[in-house]
Chains A and B, each alone.
Chain A
Amino acid sequence: MAIASAASDSSARIEPLADPEVRLMLEVRDGNAAAFEELMLRYQKRLVTVLEHLVGKRGQAEDLAQEVFLRVYRARQSYVPASKFSTWLFTIANNVAANAARSRSRRREVQVAAAEGDDRIATIDELALAASGLMPGRQLDKAELREVVQAALATLSERQRLAVLLNKFEGMNYADIATTMDMSPQAIKSLLCRAREKLREVLEPYLERGERPASP
């Protein structure tokens, strides 16, 4: 989706000027360089966090985040506030990440095991193998638990993962996620439902063993 239409097709319409960041972006449009740096400061960690969990590599996430900010700046003069700033920003991030994924796929740098249209990164068996250090009866410590959760996230498709990250980390509602990902709210509802069910399916056995080590 083009940037301009991303800004104008929002199904999650709000009073844009009520969003302080939209006001900052309007300052950027009017030539205030400091306002752009302020927006960067506000979003850079959030953006890199989402992108890192999406693409799985920190360096690549930083590159993509820079590309997103560059696109935001280049689009400043045609910026029309039609949705929350965060929705607009993550729409651009989604496009940038999708382009990068297509490019990676063309270069055959990633092995994609497609299943029903989902580009899964790890199977449950692989996850079990990755977490094989978790012996029954042993309390999960923080680092281990984090690894398990990361691996569980990796079992989701890229679309599921993005929807989960936007919902969980950015607190976006279904309508905003739908705008960001260029899908209908109903499709997002189903996507998130499948994602959460998958997470439950993967994480629950580990939680069960961790909490009740004596159980057979």
Chain B
Amino acid sequence: MAERAKLSRAIKKHTNGWLFIGLVGAAVILLPLFPIILSLFKAPNENWQHITKYLLANYLINSLQLVVLTGFFTVLLGVSLAWLVAAYDFPLRRFFRWALLLPLAVPPYIAAYTYSTMFSYTGIVQKTLRTFDITPNPKWFGVMSMRGAVFIFTLFLFPYVYLIARSFFERQSGSYIENAMLLGRGQGAIFFRVALPLARPAIFGGLALVVFEVLGDYGVTSYYGVHTISTAIFQTWFGMYDVDSAIRLAAYLMIGTVGLFLVERWARRNRRFSSSTSKMRPLAPRRLRGGWCWAAVLFCGGVFAWSFLFPVMQLGVWASWTFDSVFTPAFGELIRRSVSLALLATVIIMFAATVVANLHRTSATPFTAALSRWVTAGYSVPGAIVAIGVLACFISLDRQLAPLYAALGMGTAPLVLSMSLVMLVVAYVVRFMATGYNAIEAGFERVGTKFMEVSRTLGFGITRTFFLVDLPMIKGAVFSGIVLTFVEIVKELPLALLLRPFNFETLATRAYQYASDEKIHEAAIPSLLIIGVSMVAVYVLNQVGKEAKE
């Protein structure tokens, strides 16, 4: 009796408009994943036998190989650069400190076709070598392979590891490293015995982002002909027209990524132990001398050149060749539509993210905690899964609505919603909710709950408190959330490629379309536009880091 009264008291206390909107948002994210989970309980079809017998092992091995190799090399590159920039001083260090984030502005699929053309027989690399009368074996430059995919992913995804590891070294390792030095340990021992073990959770967090990107990738692997589970989902769907088996493959991939996601959460849980002690002293970089100094500049410069400067310069050259033929009024219209679509999805995401984040903050119950965790789980679900789940949902929604369509005189069983942009917008919301949510949550964490509580004891409910007190204080976080989400959507490829209505193109699909039609030079202009927009996001990311430092 008392328990029931308490429960009804709790429900009354926590029920408000925010909860309702939050639940709708969570349902939108949950629904597309539902058919995928359900598929595991259905009997597989004949085609599935064929897939498991001849193809699945191959897909699995390729995916695994790609993840392990890319993971290894991104950690190697990311951590060594982060340590170099955080712990040592050398010429151009301040420039490299942020310049090494720029590769994040180049989507890997753009890098993939840029590099494959640069390394081809008629590309700039082999051509230049031939002018010096060196005719290398073309096999050495075969990037259209597993090796090439690892190369591309490593060069363009390492900044995830670099960024997280660097800010960890700079902010949280100072006093430990000073202690180790006072205890008489050398530089190598300090790195391997102190800095590296302390940074392990941070490195793991960055690595998880890389792994999710690689598992979710469609552009690079399909262009390079590497068969992974993600590309296999598309092939069974469009090549074999077997949606059931595609959904089943998606379910297996999802089990894998959810497992990884849980491991990552678990690893991050441990991070508290390393940072909750007293105030951390920032690490004072130590000056490098002589040969070491030049080696450091050369290493950073080399990585920067290959992971940003060279490909962007090459794209610039191609863009100048094709500017007149590509930059037509129709292309201007494409940009306008692509940008307005991204803006629309961003607005929806930021609205829902703010509601859920505020809900979790104002009534911290296990229920709202689960809600917010569910919302952020979206980033670990590969695009292929989101795409197929959203499609399955919309087709069945159209079927449910068929009587309504018929009543409106639209014919029997037309596909109305699943042929419209609504589907793509929903897919973006599912996929990128986490980007917006994390930004908002970081803002709320910095502000704390104190001001909200003051406002409530002064007679304001949570809605008015939000607009009067919270929103002005998290303005910056909302802004960076908008920029980061917008950019993610502009450069997103697989969802747009699969779910766009007939005749609708985004900048990303146009670039990829050109590239798959062997019109690499024409792809340069949309590619450079995407890179330009993404550089704004990198700038914001860097600013956010600075703020947190203060």
- Do A and B actually bind? no
Give residues in B with beta carbon < 8 Å to A: none
Residues of chain A at the chain B interface (Cβ within 8 Å): none
